[in-house]
Structure 1
Amino acid sequence: MSFWEILLWTSLASLLTTLLGGLYAMGTFRVRKTREPPLDKGFIPWLGYAINFKKDPVQFLQRMRKKHGDVFTVLVGGNYLHFVMDPHTYRHIVKEPKNKLDFYMFASVIVFNAFGFHSSECHHKIVQTFSNKYLSGQNLSTLNQVMMANLQKVLFHRQEQKRSWQQDGVLHFSYRNMFQAAYLTLFGTEPEGGVEKKDAVKENELTHYGEMFEAFQRFDRFFPQMAFSLLDPLGKRETQRLKNIFWDILSLEKVYQKDNISSWVLEQDKRMAEVGMTEKVRTRFLFLLLWASQANTGPATFWILVHLLKHPEAMEAVREEVDEALREAGQEVKPGCPIGNVTLSALKTPFLESAIEETLRLKTSPFLFRSVMQDTDIKTSDGREYTLRKGDHLLLFPFLALHMDPEIYPDPHVFQYDRFISPNGTKKEFYKDGIKLKHSTMPFGAGPSMCPGRFFAMSEMKIFVILMLTYFDMELVKKEEEIPAIDARRYGFGTAHPSHDIQFRYRLRF
């Protein structure tokens, strides 16, 4: 064999080795092992079902579930994802130790992609610690009082002279007012600089926060693409511009000039400084706190309000309940008399709480993500056993496995404001395959990925609905208009967003 023939065969062998290595790395040759879930790689190497999954996760997972059952593995963009649709296994899965199923690895990637800093388990524990301290119990009651006052200030701003009907989009109205009030509650207010400047400061403050909200909403629209590093060049430039705006607003120098900053924000920042986080990164952390506290609550209030507007019987039942609860709490509701020092726990509002939980069942769709750190066994309620392979990822999707299951919730796509109240007035219990469910809804996740601010989020929603039903008459501009569909691109990121806004009219009741 000549030199050139040897060179040719060597080159071909090298090319073949590289090609086979690349195909192996892309998972082309992966086969299902004994006891592993059904494996579906699709027809495109490495990419697998990435396009289908990104386009509409719910539709895709419904198809895979019908094809493979409650437990299956699919290839998505080079990653093998295990999906478990048996809700009875969830309570056991979320209790697995992090050396088997780890949440923090995935969370740190998301945080870096979206907010530009590397988070650690230490940072996560700080958030958990101070959220448990300040966003629950007596400290939450105190924070709720501040939120109640700020939301009234925002809602009633210049309303005294406008008793005629006004019009806005339900999403824009709900999201904007919740954002502004919560920002004032958590991140503080501008110094008033004397009584004579109080009105001017208030006017400028609300205008400024209105502009901030518009920037925040633009940033939030990019979040799914940022989370998975799927931004195009134009999107990267725009999100960087928006980040710069918030990094300036939330610079430590400016934040610490505010009055009435919540202890939740202050104590976390101080602790982050103690563990070595630089001022630059602490500012980015504050932006993360802002996004985490607002990105889901605003859209959730939209869905609650629009469902009440579309269901007059629900609106009337909840409104009568709220009015009665306020009377029993000694709150006189009249013009110029805002709701004062009353705790939410003192207001008995089971219809309102059921309506909120029903809305969250219909419109929250978080993925509970875990990295498989070692081969891990799981067992379904019907006795089947599976092994999840080390290096893969596990996703739980309560929206399909729980919220939309017709056995658990008859007519699951229908809004029933009293669905979570039993005939005797107690909280209703739910069953699957004759077995009682420990968690019949999971809008805030579970285990280490459970939202640390869930109690404050629920309080915000209740306060918003109480104020809207107490002080305003409301109606849809087009009463026959259907509730907007869900924007499929937001599935997996908490509260779904509507495909479009819907117009309503409102005016002061008194």
Structure 2
Amino acid sequence: MPAAGLPGRAHPPESASARAPVTSHHGPPPVVRGGLPWLGHALAFGKDPLGFLRGCQQEYGDVFTVRLPSGPRTFLLDPLDHPAYFKNRDLEFAEVGAEIGGRAFGYTLEEVKRADIEEVSHQINVYMKGEPLQVMSERMQQKLVERLRELPVGAWREDTLHRWANEYIFAAGTDALFGEGVYSEELKRAYTTIDKAFPVLAMGLPVKLVPPWARAQRTLGELVRLKGPEHAALFDVRHAHFGKLGLLDFEGGFDAGLMWAAQANTVSAAFWTVLYILRDRRAREEILEEVRGVLDGQDMLAPGGPVFSKQALKSLVKLESAVTEMNRLTTAPMVPRRAMRPTELALRSGTYTFATGDDLALFPPTTHLDPEIYEDPYDFRFDRFLPDASGAPPRFFKDGQRVHFNLLPFGAGVSMCPGRFFAINEFKIAVAVLLSSFDIELLTTAVPKQDVARTGFGTLPPVEDVPFRYRRRA
């Protein structure tokens, strides 16, 4: 039996040979029966997304169509079918993404087309990686440390973990992206209003049924357009691009969308990472030792204290593994595509036909929590994703075949979250600062349930917050 936390590292035993796929189906996918007018299966899906889809899978197979307020959507739940999904050039994301973003941030499909979305995506890929990413990450650490440095040494403080992350990490990340002083309580209120409404708007609920949203969208768009000093270089490039196309009025909504992409999951991800690490003594001890090794005895909260370089962050492999494991357990994105012309998908269970305009999606939690792929899938194992001695990441298998898309917390391909690298750096830095500079104690042993209302859009927040206490070390 493999060591705890390290299943799937080696090839499976010979007895776990691949099962012959059933290839009898040919034609459109089966449609799930039942549902309500307009709502379709939204209530059953919203109550327990994973349970609902697994129930459908048992009855209809790995490929089936569900009716939702935004329209029918076909789900593909076999992870060994995912490569065919991503390789099919008739399936595209741009139109779906524009519709979802437009509902939430107020821009139209026509504006997206005028904005040259391929160029905008290219700008994000350039300026949310590499040296620009490192500059933003260092700035985020600086802002976080400045706020935490104000706390007195030695005094215990009680708080709740999600609220704490919301106060400190969100503010630091916002100013790192948009510039000094952009974060404010007004911005936070507007952002929170949009964030809470985002799932139902994206699912197709008419905007008029969410009255506060329109005001919040205007407010957030106006506030993020007013960049502060030391804002991310990306926004200068985008401003010039939108100005050249006569789309400066569109800029605020698009910047608000980027803010949501970069920040929406950071607070909840930091919450779950800290909670899981604090509940696992070995994880806490080994990750703290790893962080201290990088810091080499320096105090992160001291004036002129150390700043994590790109290499230092990369060297925190145990923390990286814990973060990856957190993502496996708590993220519930969808990976949508739309058929732009009639097409076929040859999958393990048969060949499925789709008409122009048909919507499809993957639902990664069915893979993330598959016991055939991950041993004890509901357990947190901080070292599950540690690389081996050669530095190679672990491999995972199903039916004797390697699962190439075994983890999709940020989506995949063209729909992959553009702010993912900054978000990961944010909560790695936050966890490192918290563990190395503070004594921390959880005040409950309970693990809260996940709020499934946010299914489809990243990390699920907790239904209830978790009390803890902390004090700054001398």
Fold conserved between structures, TM > 0.5: yes
- Residue 262 (str. 1) matches residue 254 (str. 2): no
**Equivalent AA in structure 2 for residue 373 of structure 1:** M
Query: Does the CA-based 8 Å contact 1:82-1:394 persist in structure 2?
Result: yes
Q: Per chain length, whose mean CA-contact separation is higher, i.e. which structure has more relative contact order (CA < 8 Å, sep 6+)?
A: 2
For 1:166, the equivalent position in structure 2 comes to 157
Judged with a 3 Å threshold, the aligned counterparts in structure 2 of structure 1 residues 285 and 335 are, in CA distance, closer, same or farther, namely closer
1:380-416 per-residue CA deviation (whole Å, 9 max, x = no partner) reads 2x4632223333210111111x201101111111111
Correspondent of 1:468 among 434, 446, 451: 434
For 1:132, the equivalent position in structure 2 comes to 125
Cα displacement (A) at 1:486: 0.8
1:280-307 per-residue CA deviation (whole Å, 9 max, x = no partner) reads 3212222222222111112111111111
Alignment partners' CA distance in 2, 1:371 and 1:155? 46
For 1:413, the equivalent position in structure 2 comes to 378
Alignment partners' CA distance in 1, 2:212 and 2:37? 32
Query: 3-state SS of the aligned residue for 1:152?
Result: helix
Alignment partners' CA distance in 1, 2:57 and 2:77? 8
1:329-362 per-residue CA deviation (whole Å, 9 max, x = no partner) reads xx62276245434413235221101000000011
For 1:145, the equivalent position in structure 2 comes to 138
Cα displacement (A) at 1:83: 0.8
Correspondent of 1:404 among 364, 369, 381: 369
Query: Does the CA-based 8 Å contact 1:308-1:314 persist in structure 2?
Result: yes
- Between 466-475 and 71-80, the greater mean CA deviation after superposition: 71-80
Alignment partners' CA distance in 2, 1:458 and 1:81? 30
For 1:303, the equivalent position in structure 2 comes to 272
Judged with a 3 Å threshold, the aligned counterparts in structure 2 of structure 1 residues 435 and 240 are, in CA distance, closer, same or farther, namely same
Correspondent of 1:373 among 340, 355, 367: 340
Judged with a 3 Å threshold, the aligned counterparts in structure 2 of structure 1 residues 217 and 45 are, in CA distance, closer, same or farther, namely closer
Query: Does the CA-based 8 Å contact 1:58-1:491 persist in structure 2?
Result: no
Judged with a 3 Å threshold, the aligned counterparts in structure 2 of structure 1 residues 242 and 74 are, in CA distance, closer, same or farther, namely closer
For 1:228, the equivalent position in structure 2 comes to 203
Cα displacement (A) at 1:180: 0.7
- Between 469-478 and 33-42, the greater mean CA deviation after superposition: 33-42
Judged with a 3 Å threshold, the aligned counterparts in structure 2 of structure 1 residues 229 and 440 are, in CA distance, closer, same or farther, namely closer
Aligned identity (percent) is: 33
Cα displacement (A) at 1:374: 2.4
Structure 2: state its 5+ residue gaps: 1-24
**Equivalent AA in structure 1 for residue 295 of structure 2:** L
Query: Does the CA-based 8 Å contact 2:201-2:207 persist in structure 1?
Result: no
TM-score in terms of structure 1 length: 0.82
Judged with a 3 Å threshold, the aligned counterparts in structure 2 of structure 1 residues 170 and 413 are, in CA distance, closer, same or farther, namely same
**Equivalent AA in structure 1 for residue 98 of structure 2:** S
Alignment partners' CA distance in 1, 2:26 and 2:390? 49
Judged with a 3 Å threshold, the aligned counterparts in structure 2 of structure 1 residues 464 and 334 are, in CA distance, closer, same or farther, namely closer
TM-score in terms of structure 2 length: 0.87
Correspondent of 1:444 among 410, 413, 419: 410
Cα displacement (A) at 1:82: 1.0
**Equivalent AA in structure 1 for residue 211 of structure 2:** R
For 1:363, the equivalent position in structure 2 comes to 330
For 1:12, the equivalent position in structure 2 comes to none
Alignment partners' CA distance in 2, 1:335 and 1:398? 38
Alignment of 1:151-230 (within 5 A): 151-156=144-149, 158-159=150-151, 161-190=152-181, 209-210=184-185, 212-230=187-205
Query: Does the CA-based 8 Å contact 1:176-1:213 persist in structure 2?
Result: no
Query: Does the CA-based 8 Å contact 2:153-2:473 persist in structure 1?
Result: no
**Equivalent AA in structure 2 for residue 116 of structure 1:** G
1:71-93 per-residue CA deviation (whole Å, 9 max, x = no partner) reads 11223347322110111221231
- Decide which structure has the larger Cα Rg and report it: 1
Cα displacement (A) at 1:243: 2.4
Query: Does the CA-based 8 Å contact 2:73-2:359 persist in structure 1?
Result: yes
Alignment partners' CA distance in 2, 1:151 and 1:335? 10
Correspondent of 1:117 among 85, 107, 125: 107
Judged with a 3 Å threshold, the aligned counterparts in structure 2 of structure 1 residues 262 and 419 are, in CA distance, closer, same or farther, namely same
Judged with a 3 Å threshold, the aligned counterparts in structure 2 of structure 1 residues 232 and 459 are, in CA distance, closer, same or farther, namely closer
Correspondent of 2:249 among 255, 268, 280: 280
Judged with a 3 Å threshold, the aligned counterparts in structure 2 of structure 1 residues 435 and 496 are, in CA distance, closer, same or farther, namely same
Query: 3-state SS of the aligned residue for 1:452?
Result: coil
For 1:318, the equivalent position in structure 2 comes to 287
